[in-house]
Amino acid sequence: MGQVFGTDGVRGTVGSQPMTVEFAVRLASAAGRVLAPNGGSVAVGKDTRISGYMFEAALEAGFVAVGMDVKLLQVMPTPGIAYLTRVLGADLGVVISASHNRYDDNGIKFFDRHGSKLDDQDEQQIENLLKEAPVTLESSRLGRAERRYDAVDRYVSFCKQSTVEKLDLSGMRLVVDGANGATYKIAPRVFSALGADVVTIACSPNGKNINDGCGSTSPHILQSTVKALGADLGIAFDGDGDRVLMVDHSGEVVDGDQLLYAIALSRIKAGQLHGPVVGTVMSNLGLEKAFADLGIDFQRAAVGDRNVLTALRESGGILGGEASGHIMCLDRTTTGDGIVAAIQVLEAVRNARVPLAELVSGMTRYPQRLVNVRVEQEFDLQESVIVSQALAAAERALGAEGRVVLRESGTEPVIRVMVEGENDHVVTEYAEQLAAAVREAAAASV
């Protein structure tokens, strides 16, 4: 069957391998046998994609058939499933979501009983069993399935309590963009319960409009709404709720690097920051320099929340994240959580008694250009003379105050070309030249 696990579980176009009903049953059977060989329970949740109901039923069948009890959490953000896996005492958690992708994609990812992503060894064991047919035990050994109608209340309470002192957002007007995804009910309820005046957009999912011109990947409607309403700020989530971006009162986007800076600044002032802050190779150079000015140790990991989490655990850090808005506050929860991260930023704003724009003004973002080059098949970037020459030219032009990153996406068939430096014109010019070189090399490899 080939390797099916990517950087964040299994993902693909619905109806094509691996995202078929047959595969979902096979995956549940394999995962159940690896992670709960003597039976046990599994918490299963999904985002709002129309295919989520189909995959939920298939996974339920596969797990019940190997003797596992299934707790159906229904529509729930990814970090909510991680949390509920722990508090419900489940042996594993399963998320049906393709995160920030369009509705015609879907995915399946796992948490262990502690609410953490599976390690490589567990994933490899599951991969090995995928070659076998699904197992069905005799009737007396089958599991049961139940819908947990208390899941939303439990997760809302957890989010509200994710600050050291009770956060009071009275007098603050927030615009919440739910990406027509998993946070569409929960996020507005959390912020309203904390006292904010909440206006919602993209909180009317129909199964096909998730991430469609809305959410953290497309915040333009949020920007205009915040300005039109004179709101204090806007909050945008992605389809499964593990990422968050914000918009300040003037309509400017505040990305994950800036939000990470705001939380770290608040933590260090309160004496609560431990260990280094961890970003990725894609984190803005301005973030690194701002942390240096504050005396905060900053480390870079490979792209992906699993890599950030690994680096935090190895270094004893509690705070890390990505520019995309995937932010981890390990002193509050076990994984990236968009709602929890947003609450930490709102607490920082309240404590500093300044608008969000002023709070993040200590970080100057370097011009950065990201170009995604779609490729038909994999090829070795390092072996391409065309790419090597273009890379050398870009690095010479940027000098010590710039960076170039070339990497293969773990979730899409694209090569990501990132160029960063002091001069926006130079950054744009060399990003386009390097992207053109990658396209040429990719075409030559077909």
d(CA 366, CA 383): 30
The CA-based angle 125-127-133, given to 5 degrees, is 105
H-helix or E-strand spanning residue 111: strand 105-112
Inter-residue contact 285 to 244 (CB < 8 Å): no
d(CA 327, CA 337): 7
Using alpha carbons, select from 94, 3, 84, 31 the residue that is nearest to residue 57.
94
d(CA 68, CA 147): 14
d(CA 129, CA 36): 14
Q: What's the DSSP call for residue 75?
A: E
For 258, how many CA atoms within 13 A lie in the half-sphere containing its CB?
Answer: 21
d(CA 321, CA 329): 9
User: Which residue has tokens 């003597």?
Assistant: 38
d(CA 73, CA 84): 9
Query: Which entry of 51, 99, 216, 384 is annotated as an active-site residue?
Result: 99
Total Cβ atoms within 10 A of residue 49: 32
Using alpha carbons, select from 99, 420, 167 the residue that is nearest to residue 286.
420
Using alpha carbons, select from 211, 207, 177, 180 the residue that is nearest to residue 339.
177
Using alpha carbons, select from 313, 176, 335, 320 the residue that is nearest to residue 261.
320
User: Which residue has tokens 């957002």?
Assistant: 169
Token readout for 244 is: 């968050």
Chain centroid, CA 52 distance in Å: 18
Inter-residue contact 260 to 279 (CB < 8 Å): yes
Cis check: omega of the bond before 413, within 30 degrees of 0: no
Inter-residue contact 95 to 43 (CB < 8 Å): no
Query: Is position 99 annotated as part of the catalytic site?
Result: yes
**Residues contacting 277, CB < 8 A, separation 6+:** 260, 264, 291, 296, 297, 298, 299, 317, 319, 320
d(CA 411, CA 282): 16
The set of catalytic residues is 99
